[in-house]
């Protein structure tokens, strides 16, 4: 117990300059205070029997226990408290605060990976390996997520090595065009997203909820504004903010309170189906626009892109497993087909 307290005190102090959402007020009487959540994400177009476009993504993330108590306690130095009180939105009562850490890799390829030469009218080969740190503030009605992603695009992302290794192990076609990939470039993205639980209805164990979202990203990797909604119906719907794909500020698997089936004890089972829709107005996408500071292969992107997903979620004890089948509209001019891929998320609350 003492080791756990030392770890979290150290974490709070290290993240103090970014902690603009910490509050000094009391939280919900049913708030989750001591539980953290690990999530593993895997996305691949093999679920659609294709091998092009956004072809693979993996991410591991961790959401901390609620840190609000550390702001109320003597865990923070006295000099920091006046500073915290002057920061925006910090006096609102009843909110939980969590820190999120993530690491991941995405890869993108053209339609024919057997060709060595540059395919000028198809999307570039590209990889993105990144580390993310986020702050989450939430109550029963909403979740505010702010995240900074730092990483590398290009050969140093090692996406080429990852894909070649996996294809070799599976006996698949060797991707031969990685010499034409986007060049090395450090990447930065600052992301904000708000989710609401705008509707929740439950009769017995059967429930229905709606979770709209609105946000945006700014950086040399991607700059966009997005809006979407998720609808869930089923048995013992979890008290969280839905199922996220691999995207910035998307971690929403952590339970909100003790009425979540992962924590309720007597109701530790959940089964539900969901559908989600998301639209983005895209100003910058380095995986289509090419490098920011040097010439590289690029294509003419579309400025408006949409996703439609249909999935199923299962909770047993403290494990949450979701599968989403996603259809994404065309991202660039000349793209022959819409993109289809599958997304698996396995989360564990401890």
Residue 16 has pLDDT above 50, yes or no: no
Between residues 32 and 282, which one has the greater pLDDT?
A: 282
Count of Cβ atoms closer than 10 Å to residue 39 Cβ:
24
Q: Coil, strand, or helix at residue 327?
A: strand
The 3 state secondary structure assigned to 220-270 is CCEEEEEEEEEEEEEECCCCCCCCCCCCCCCCCCCCCECCCCCCCCCCCEE
| C-alpha span between 318 and 165 (Å, rounded) | 33
C-alpha closest to that of 148 among 89, 100, 114: 100
φ, ψ at 88 (rounded to 5°): -65, 145
**Residue 299 · residue 287 · CB < 8 Å:** no
Higher pLDDT, 268 or 292: 292
Res 66: pLDDT: 83
What ranges do the domains of the chain cover? 2-349
For residue 70, give both structure tokens. Answer: 């550390």
Which residue in the block uniquely carries the two structure tokens 């539900």? Answer: 272
Q: Rg of the Cα trace of the chain?
A: 21
Q: Which pair of tokens denotes residue 325? A: 């089948």
pLDDT, tens digit, 9 for 90 and up, residues 242-259:
988 998 888 888 888 888
pTM of the model: 0.85
Q: Does domain 2-349 have CATH number 2.40.128.140?
A: yes
294-313 pLDDT per residue, tens: 999 999 999 999 999 999 99
- Contacts of residue 26, defined as CB under 8 A and 6 or more positions apart, other chains included, come to 72, 93, 94
Q: Which two structure tokens, joined as six digits, stand for 206?
A: 């059967």
Length of the chain counted residue by residue: 350
- Tell me the CB-side half-sphere exposure of residue 130, using CA atoms within 13 A: 29
Report how far residue 124's alpha carbon sits from residue 181's, in angstroms, rounded to the nearest whole number: 6
Q: Please report the pLDDT score of residue 65 as a whole number.
A: 87
CA-nearest of 305, 337, 343 to 324 is 343
First-to-final CA distance of the chain: 14
pLDDT at res. 201: 79
19 pLDDT higher than 60: no
DSSP symbols for 83-117: HHHHSTTTT-SS-EEEEEEEEEEEEEE-S-TT--S
Q: What is the pLDDT of residue 3?
A: 38
106-115, 136-145, 154-163: range with lowest mean pLDDT: 136-145
């Amino acid at each position: 117990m003492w080791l756990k307290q030392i770890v979290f005190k150290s974490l709070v102090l290290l993240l103090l300059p970014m902690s603009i959402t910490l509050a000094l007020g009391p939280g919900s009487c049913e708030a989750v205070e001591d539980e953290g959540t690990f999530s593993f994400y895997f996305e691949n177009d093999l679920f659609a029997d294709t091998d092009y476009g956004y072809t693979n993504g993996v991410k591991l993330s961790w959401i901390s226990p609620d840190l609000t108590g550390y702001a109320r306690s003597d865990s923070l130095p006295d000099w920091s408290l006046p500073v915290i009180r002057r920061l925006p939105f910090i006096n609102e009562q009843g909110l939980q605060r969590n820190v999120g850490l993530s690491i991941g890799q995405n890869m993108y390829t053209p339609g024919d990976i057997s060709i060595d030469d540059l395919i000028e009218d198809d999307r570039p080969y590209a990889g993105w390996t990144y580390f993310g740190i986020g702050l989450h503030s939430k109550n029963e009605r909403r979740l505010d997520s702010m995240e900074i992603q730092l990483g590398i695009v290009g050969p140093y992302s090692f996406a080429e090595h990852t894909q070649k290794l996996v294809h070799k192990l599976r006996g698949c076609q060797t991707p031969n065009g990685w010499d034409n990939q986007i060049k090395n470039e450090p990447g930065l993205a600052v992301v904000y997203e708000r989710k609401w639980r705008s509707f929740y209805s439950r009769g017995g164990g059967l429930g229905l909820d709606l979770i709209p979202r609105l946000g945006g990203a700014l950086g040399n990797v991607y700059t966009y504004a997005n809006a979407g909604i998720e609808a869930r119906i089923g048995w013992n719907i979890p008290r969280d903010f839905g199922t996220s794909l691999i995207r910035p500020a998307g971690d929403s698997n952590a339970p909100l309170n003790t009425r979540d089936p992962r924590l309720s004890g007597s109701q530790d089972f959940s089964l539900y189906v969901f559908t989600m829709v998301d639209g983005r107005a895209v100003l910058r996408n380095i995986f289509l626009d090419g490098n920011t500071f040097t010439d590289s292969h690029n294509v003419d992107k579309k400025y408006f892109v949409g996703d439609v997903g249909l999935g199923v979620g299962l909770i047993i004890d403290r494990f949450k497993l979701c599968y989403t089948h996603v259809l994404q509209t065309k991202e660039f001019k000349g793209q022959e087909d819409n993109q289809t891929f599958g997304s698996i998320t396995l989360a564990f609350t401890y």
